[in-house]
A and B are shown apart, each in its own frame.
Chain A
Amino acid sequence: MSAGTAKIVVTVTDVVPVNDLVTRFRFARTDGGLMPTFSGGAHTVVEMQDGGTTRLNPYSLMSDPADRTAYTISVRRDEQGRGGSLFMHKQVKPGMEMVISNPVNLFPLDLRARKHLMIAGGIGITPFLAQIKQLAASNGNFELHYSVRTASLASYADELLSAHPTRVNIYHDDKQQVIDLENLLDGQPLGTHLYVCGPKGMIKWVRSTAEGLGWPREAVHDEEFLAPPSGKPFEVKLAVSNKVITVGEHQSLLEAIEAAGVDAPYLCRGGACGQCETDVIGYDGKFLHSDHWLTDEQRESGKKIMPCVSRFEGKTLVLDR
């Protein structure tokens, strides 16, 4: 079994539509026991048996980390996606048995911070929901700036505002409300840590603005799960298991390795954590790297690939797996 991916058999206890795009799911242990503890920012990998395909998608835990009776996640429906969110929305019903992974946190609070400044875009609010519950329990100092498309799509904005009226700020795109980032970052007390979760463009904007204003890299945290991109099918030789596999158009390399019955390590399945880093033994072609993990030198060396999100085009690829 892969590191950190101990499995929990759960029963879906609630499926609650939050708005037109987002649905909330609550999982309790099927055996009636308590869930493992987690810390705000953690995610779980949900296994979906969708026809013949096994889908494994990471979702941030949004429930109170102190509540061990159940986990809740919120899933945004993505019509253009590979089908995981559609499966959750259409197939998952209360009473269904599912398998989820133990929690893994790649986006933890830095508890040395004097203040936590959180910036969320859309469904990127979910890890902050758990972090805010964690901080509120210890009277922690936080401030949330949450950008949403419209009031009707502002998942959990009302709950957040009523619980923390002085700490939560909502910005509506349809009313041309934009986070005044430069002003916000300017004047934060020393020891503030900045967290951002949202679309790629937002993360880039926040990171580059903070860097330009002299914020230390160590005080800026982000989380973005990448969905594996589709691409041309390609063949891979797995040297250790002595198998030749084909990676389908809408399949990730990691999924193809798993489908061949080879146990490969993973944690986030979104190019962020580095767990699935795999050595390349030989290749003739071009890598299509999509991860946030490898350095430029590692990419140029042609010796490493992150199979959860990256692909390959060319004649041969041999992996040490």
Chain B
Amino acid sequence: MAKTQFEPSIKSRPIYGTLVPRPGKAHLVIADAEGAEAVLDLARAAGAGMMAHTHIIYIPKRTGETYRKPLEALNAAQLYIGPSYEAAVPRLRRTLSDAHMGLQVYLTGTEGLMGQAMREATEAGIPHSAIQTEHRGSTARRMQCVHCKGITEDVVTDPFTCSHCGLNLFVRDHYSRRIAAFQGVRVDAEDPGNVPQPVERFK
């Protein structure tokens, strides 16, 4: 699956690039699902040396075992394949707390993964503009309900139902880096019950 092209939108909406190898003594790659393909492309572009100093954290999600073998073949210094982003967070935090300036961070895969990993990396002191990203795979969104503040992962329709408070929410492009989520706003506040037919906007 190739890199995703998004329609131009409001300034708040994150823009993703293409991962390119940068000089640095250590590299941290965090990917999920089809993001593995961007990791393989990155490794190809980087040539030999880089993988010996690279730590890959990978969450396959619905791709299952598809990318396990090719990723293992990269011979990265460390490769962690885990069941969920949440399960990888302690490892990610420990890695960042031990890291030094010059660490290069590469994020790829879904927006939810990139946003949350970006938040960890910026909290560890890396300027957000120095962190590379590349979108691959599902465009499903991580949404925050602006009313109850609950997070609903992998939203594919607009509007959708908040998984916490049950309100019908309109999907906005308004994004919060701090929460690493798009904002969902009640769609039938003026006229309760008048909810447009949900459309599958994200895949």
Contact = CB atoms under 8 A, between A and B. Distances in A.
Interface in B123-174: 124-127, 129-130
What secondary structure prevails in chain A residues at the interface with B?
A: loop
Interface residues of B, number: 18
B129 A215 contact: no
B129 A214 contact: no
A159 interface: no
What secondary structure prevails in chain B residues at the interface with A?
A: loop
Contact of B104 (A187, A214, A218, A219): A214
B186 to A, nearest CB: 35
**How large, as a class, is the contact surface on chain A?**
20 to 34
A210 to B, nearest CB: 8
A215 B102 contact: yes
A218 B125 CA distance: 11
A216 B124 contact: no
B73 interface: no
A134 interface: no
A231 B104 CA distance: 45
Contacts of A168: none
Interface string B41-66: 00000000000000000000000000
A213 interface: yes
A213 B23 contact: yes
Contact of A189 (B24, B101, B129): B101
17 contacts: A112-B125, A186-B25, A188-B101, A189-B100, A189-B101, A189-B125, A190-B97, A190-B124, A191-B101, A192-B101, A192-B125, A214-B102, A215-B101, A216-B127, A217-B130, A218-B130, A219-B101
Interface of B: 22-25, 96-97, 99-104, 124-127, 129-130
Interface of A: 112-114, 185-192, 194, 211-219
